[in-house]
Amino acid sequence: MARHGGGRGWYGKVLGAALGVTALAAGASAWTAQAGAVGGSSPQAAASATPGSDVKPVAVTISHASDKGTRGVNITIDDGPDPVWTPQALDVLREYGVKATFCMVGTQAQAHPDLVKKVVAAGHRLCDHTVSHDTTMDAKSQAYQSQQILDAERMITEASGGIRPMYYRAPGGAFTPYSRKLAASRGMRPLGWNVDSKDFEQPGTDAIVTTVERELPGGPTLLFHDAGGDRSQTVEALRRILPWLKEQGYSFGFPAR
């Protein structure tokens, strides 16, 4: 899984202006306060000390496999929900009968709860992609990592109407042992990727399709985006990639938990 840096500048401007350091601090919930103990205690203890303590801890290792086995692929879509592009992505997924995993930024979910509910209603899964998509969070304090992960979990869960994220994907792959342990204690399997479509760079639909076709032998989890700019190339690429994958004999699943 290569380091992926797309999106930090966009979120730094848009989300930073909307939130600011003060708002982030004010938004920290009791979950964050309790999570400070995770570094020195078991994940089970952390889970039982926080709201939603009925969650079951999962493995701390980063998931790349598909629950559909060796001929399975996982479509994962990051950085939304976005009012323009998420509905279009949902339309394409519905057209081809494909379920995906949406890795949502907390503030985006909070701003567009209707879209979060639509994602869930369509049978897709949710993934925690932190509050503000800071790709340097692996260099920040454990308290900051806790705030980013747990506040986003809360935002996404509230926006969905009570459906919790099943995975945690660090922005840009900026995982740490602490963040993986914390997420796993909350029942969110750390989620990586095998194929970076490079769609965030807007290289053109043909280039996105070519990248996926070339890199697919490297593993089943594909990375796309539905926010952070004009995602029309992503939508069109999915319209070509999904039927192609079916023609190649792949089935669509979810990342292994």
**Chain centroid to CA 10:** 17
Give the separation between CA 234 and CA 77, rounded to whole angstroms: 10
Mean pLDDT computed over every residue of the chain: 86
Q: Is the dihedral of CA 1, 70, 56, 225 positive or negative?
A: positive
Catalytic residue selected from 78, 82, 134, 226? 78
Among candidates 226, 240, 222, 231, which has minimal Cα distance to 203?
A: 231
Judge whether 196 counts as a catalytic residue.
no
Q: What pLDDT does residue 77 have?
A: 98
Q: What pLDDT does residue 54 have?
A: 73
Point out the residues of the chain with pLDDT beneath 70.
2-53
Percent of the chain exceeding pLDDT 70 equals 80
Q: Are 134 and 179 in contact (CB under 8 A)?
A: no
Region of residue 172 (left: phi > 0; alpha: psi -120 to 50; beta: else): left
Q: What pLDDT does residue 88 have?
A: 98
Span 145-170, pLDDT tens digits:
999 999 999 999 999 999 999 999 99
Q: What pLDDT does residue 60 have?
A: 98
| Domain 8-253 class in CATH | alpha beta
Catalytic residue selected from 4, 124, 225, 226? 225
Judge whether 4 counts as a catalytic residue.
no
88: Cβ–Cβ under 8 A, 6 or more apart, which residues?
231, 235
155-194 exposure pattern, b = at least 16 Cβ within 10 A, e = fewer:
bbbebbeebbbbbbbbbbbbbeebbbbbbbbbbbbbbbbb
